[in-house]
Amino acid sequence: MSIELPQFGDVRTGIPIVDDQHRELLSLMGNLHDLLVSPGTGDDVQVFLMAREALLRYIGEHFACEERLMRCHGLDVRHVLLHLREHERFTHRAYMVALSHGDDFCVDDTRQLLEFLIHWWHSHLPTDRSMARQIAAVLAGSQASDAYDDDFSRFTLEAKRQS
């Protein structure tokens, strides 16, 4: 069964530094995905391990960058706490998955890790995009609490309308 990686348009937020990092994450996921379909690499555990470590390390740096952006722009604590909690949950789960695979990480584990990451990322993107909209609102002069309330009511109502 093939894995469909997200396209850049699917993970775009409108904040250049975040989008650059999302693009790099897609590239690192692509490296792991290539190993799944490259004949002859299935036995080279070291190659899989290096690709996995590069991806997990970069995700940690990316989360730290988003968390700095939220602090620098003084976003509302309700958003910051939710966002941090989602990052923490991902980090915890990803390292549990990595630990459970140990140093024998290879094809099946790669598939499992990629599927987990893609699923998580889709569920987290609304939070990243909400952060981006609130930063734009703060830069345009809104109070952080108003930016949060406006974004929450607009997108919660929209989600309710669509359900």
**Interaction site with Fe ion (CB under 5 A):** 66, 128
**What minimum distance in Å lies between the beta carbon of 120 and Fe ion?**
10
Which residue, judged by CB position, is nearest to Fe ion in the bound state? 128
Q: Letter for the amino acid at 28? A: L
Nearer CB in complex with Fe ion: 87/101: 87
**What minimum distance in Å lies between the beta carbon of 11 and Fe ion?**
8
Nearer CB in complex with Fe ion: 25/113: 25
Degrees, nearest 5: CA angle 132-135-141: 145
**What minimum distance in Å lies between the beta carbon of 136 and Fe ion?**
16
Measured over the CA atoms of residue 28, residue 32, residue 35 and residue 41, the dihedral's sign is positive
Q: At 52, list the tokens.
A: 């996995």
Nearer CB in complex with Fe ion: 96/126: 126
Nearer CB in complex with Fe ion: 128/151: 128
**What minimum distance in Å lies between the beta carbon of 62 and Fe ion?**
6
**51/146 Cα distance (integer angstroms):** 42
**56/60 Cα distance (integer angstroms):** 6
Number of C-alpha atoms within 13 angstroms, CB side, residue 137? 21
